[in-house]
Chains A and B, each alone.
Chain A
């Protein structure tokens, strides 16, 4: 019984890692742009499709495909960022909502138009199970957990120490003051956006081998899974997002086991509401900035 619960917690951490990598990009984008990015899951999808394309059409090995997926997404993110996201800086929240909904429609359905709407089969990755502490996990999942930890350590360092990270924090606190002291706000916004999109793509490529099916509309679910995480984590808070993602992953896993899989998707929002009753500004935010 105890080991069963423990196994479910491990399962929760695995899915939590996936949410964490996607959510951290979204939360950083929110911090800088103040926009809920309804298109965030689409970058997850683009990354997966990029890798799938590389493997299927050019027979490239999986590690190369990871790079291609992320780079392809970065290129698209540069275009979207320059033409759309930069203009959202300082605009009312409604603008961000409509614009990102529009982007989501465009990206999702362009992929469907180009590659056909049917589900594809992702071959590649390290799917052989390995045994750790008596549980079996696909190697790929171990990889996901390791990458997740690396990503968060890297981001934590970047946000705290690097010039870019400091600029990001400054922009998320006060746009006008940034402009006064000479921080190039649109540039910071663009870079943050590209970084966030690449993280989503990375998460997509890493999960593709275990999720197998690849299709144009796969991003939407990810967007909706991620939204409660970024709120719970305290918008714009990198560390908080990590813990919120883990909590959600574990909660989902336990609900799927002891209540029923059909309630899994409601867990995120139900947890979110309970958390907000108790702490209206999220779990990890000392005070609400947004």
Chain B
């Protein structure tokens, strides 16, 4: 009998959960502005999503404590994409239809963002991306088609150019090894690099891509060491950089062959993990925790105080993007979606890194810094504004 009761209770619970789906929009009507965040929050990709959500939450807290925007508070609704397109689309649909959000920020993974684009477009909901680097996202946005997609994150073309130019001209490297992450980000950045290499008389000696979550680089680093490359082109994930750094020390690459590219070489904990390997590393970054601007430093402090960890790039861009959105709402004078969209395309936003504006493909022109690790500290070597050349249609 007990057994039967358990089953019945289980079915009952399932039914209740089912009812939960339908009943959410009961409290959809109030004065808050609804913002949806789509990010991977469970499974292995949660390691990227959690920083995004925390960054956004911190920004919301700041805005609401200061009285909100246009007299209204912002409420956050989160949707879990698990880093999978189908889940991301489900989360987006739910945010739009049930939670009635007006604005969505998401996702980290480019494939998910690409799948979310048409959904947001059909619903006329503003989709602000803050972490995907696939160039196609804004090739197809603005005058390219999707009117409701904006991206406040750099694509990789300029980054690749800046880095390789500096490495070739200032450091005199000509022989490179590629070790990048096997995603659209790593692959695209290397493709762009290859486009500029012949002009700089550079050659690539070895080319390898690591899968996300890879932990063993000894073999490939030994190959690079024996190949005689002068620098390693690395566009990768922040969590892998300390691993590669340590293994460079092991195989005897550290101090001889620097890393160049972008994978958060500049964070304190990364440098601490492998100081010798990261010395001389060259990176083009859209932000760094050590950036000496009061707004940026204050963000790092607050984030550390709240979450007990140092924010990474994803945390920063999401924090900044929420503030950017708030600014656009303020400029529009209301939370009306179309007005905010128009305000966004005309905005001149004063970010922690400098002025942000959007081009006609709704792609942010972001200030970017070139830095080099010297004596265990990032030293700024120059600032650039990223302007994208779009392929002729």
Direct contact of A and B (CB under 8 A): yes
Is B47 touching A7 in the complex (CB atoms < 8 A)? no
A211 surroundings in chain B (CB, below 8 A): 215, 243
Label chain B's interface by main secondary structure.
helix
Is A218 touching B210 in the complex (CB atoms < 8 A)? no
B residues 272-331 in Cβ contact with A at 8 Å: 273, 307, 309, 312
CB < 8 Å: which of B211, B213, B269 contacts A121?
B269
Give the number of chain A interface residues (Cβ < 8 Å): 44
Give A120's nearest chain B residue, CB to CB: B309
Give B218's nearest chain A residue, CB to CB: A11
B223 within 8 A of A: yes
Is A217 touching B222 in the complex (CB atoms < 8 A)? no
A62 within 8 A of B: no
A265 surroundings in chain B (CB, below 8 A): 211, 214
Report how far A260 CA is from B50 CA in the complex, Å: 31
A123 surroundings in chain B (CB, below 8 A): 273
Report how far A218 CA is from B215 CA in the complex, Å: 10
Give the number of chain B interface residues (Cβ < 8 Å): 45
Is B251 touching A212 in the complex (CB atoms < 8 A)? no
A79 within 8 A of B: no
> Contacts A118-B309, A215-B47, A217-B44 given: A256-B243 contact, CB under 8 Å?
no
Is A207 touching B215 in the complex (CB atoms < 8 A)? yes
Interface string of A78-91 (1 = CB under 8 A from B): 00000000000000
- Cβ of B109 to closest chain A Cβ, rounded Å: 14
Interface string of A108-120 (1 = CB under 8 A from B): 1100100011111
B49 surroundings in chain A (CB, below 8 A): 117
Interface string of B27-55 (1 = CB under 8 A from A): 00000000000000111111101110010
A129 surroundings in chain B (CB, below 8 A): 249-250, 252
Report how far A15 CA is from B215 CA in the complex, Å: 10
> Contacts A4-B222, A14-B218 given: A261-B210 contact, CB under 8 Å?
yes
Is B208 touching A256 in the complex (CB atoms < 8 A)? yes
B240 within 8 A of A: yes
- Cβ of A133 to closest chain B Cβ, rounded Å: 14
Give B211's nearest chain A residue, CB to CB: A265
Report how far A117 CA is from B312 CA in the complex, Å: 13
Is A217 touching B208 in the complex (CB atoms < 8 A)? no
A264 within 8 A of B: yes
A67 within 8 A of B: no
B261 within 8 A of A: no
Is A217 touching B219 in the complex (CB atoms < 8 A)? no
Interface string of A178-213 (1 = CB under 8 A from B): 000000000000000000000000000001001111
B350 surroundings in chain A (CB, below 8 A): none
Is B222 touching A119 in the complex (CB atoms < 8 A)? no
B226 surroundings in chain A (CB, below 8 A): 4
A127 within 8 A of B: yes
CB < 8 Å: which of B42, B54, B247, B249 contacts A112?
B42
Is A121 touching B51 in the complex (CB atoms < 8 A)? no
Interface string of A160-189 (1 = CB under 8 A from B): 000000000000000000000000000000
Is A119 touching B209 in the complex (CB atoms < 8 A)? no
A151 within 8 A of B: no
Is B213 touching A221 in the complex (CB atoms < 8 A)? yes
B179 within 8 A of A: yes
Give A212's nearest chain B residue, CB to CB: B242
> Contacts A210-B247, A213-B240, A262-B208 given: A256-B46 contact, CB under 8 Å?
no
Give A137's nearest chain B residue, CB to CB: B250
CB < 8 Å: which of A109, A118, A136, A261 contacts B47?
A118
Q: Which A residues form the contact surface with B (CB < 8 A)? A: 4, 7-8, 11-12, 14-15, 108-109, 112, 116-121, 123, 127, 129, 136-138, 141, 207, 210-213, 215-218, 220-221, 252-254, 256-257, 260-262, 264-265
A-B residue pairs in contact (CB < 8 Å), sample of 17:
A11-B219, A117-B41, A117-B50, A118-B54, A119-B239, A211-B215, A217-B43, A253-B218, A256-B208, A256-B216, A257-B220, A260-B209, A261-B208, A261-B214, A261-B217, A262-B209, A262-B210
Taking A117-B47, A213-B242, A253-B219 as known contacts, 15 extra A-B pairs with beta carbons closer than 8 A to each other, sorted by chain A number, are: A8-B219, A11-B216, A11-B218, A118-B54, A119-B238, A129-B249, A136-B252, A138-B249, A210-B243, A215-B239, A216-B44, A216-B47, A217-B46, A261-B210, A262-B182
